[in-house]
Structure 1
């Protein structure tokens, strides 16, 4: 069976794996994006003692392999099955997809928090002072000044983090989540044709290329919005009366 025949026969499985990879990456990055702004503010403004638990969590997630984190959640949760059953959480942890999603969301949250912290610290202090001078509340300053500029600074790095998360999602296959790599291993075990891994690599490449195009378009729109919002407005000068 040649490579074209293999892809023609098994493309539904590869498509199913592709959708699983996109779902796992999108949900993991989305959960991290919802949590990381609050954590970034804590890392930026909270007292060192209040930051200690968060810094420990970030150091652990960034300093250990994501595969080890995945094993700790998937296999480690089984060691606490009676406790999880008492708390009503075993239904969640017995599902491989949920464990993989939790591992990727926790890992991405740590990275996105530090990326956003760098973005917040890069916001010009003069703009924050100007917002306070015109009477903006702290919440409004964060919403109108701090976070738009922080995201503009951090946007490329956030995009790289999502791409890395997408590629790391291939590890989910080791806990029986049938993403692209999981389906590829299934097909290889039946055909023993190594070319199927080339098709898998091309699928990852296409997903990455499409994501980069979308992310760059979003970056241009964000930049135009910020520039238009902060464009200086020149008041119209009254016409001078002709002198006699």
Structure 2
């Protein structure tokens, strides 16, 4: 068997967590078909009606905590560890705000859209781990003000996190793999184009073709819990 690529960049989206019971966003019946994102996922919505926004994310946080990692999360964690043992690297970048990659065993995960299990103060900028509900009456641990806490996630109109680090890791990669992504969310949707411009092999693993599926060198379609472990096994990383 040929040696696996030494440096793999994996981008995951909502599709990898769908089999754990967490809804996708843009598919038929997805979260943004049932809820208006402009009323729940923008800084303006939070300023206008913070209680409704906090309630929505408290509900999502509880759902995320009740979910369990599936075989796709665990397979990526094993591949990450195996590559690291051999002196390589699997850089795991996710658009997801759940912690299923971490609970599936991944040692390092870059959350470009933030994390449901963190809160941030809009007053002093203090960020901290938060597994319970966020309420307007809760004081910020950093400045003690109330009414300033929000989920530490990226809302519409805000810039994704860690973009410089993500760009640096992509430039170093031998293989770019997108798992369960829609191909419609910037900046993530542009990574396959960037990878191709750098001469990096690209592969899409998805339930069905994404919006930018034609840009990938290779594609496999089916449930993430089946195709992700199989793909990594073919790379010698099972």
* TM-score in terms of structure 1 length: 0.24
Normalized per residue, the structure richer in strand is: 2
Normalized per residue, the structure richer in helix is: 1
Query: Which one has the largest radius of gyration?
Result: 1
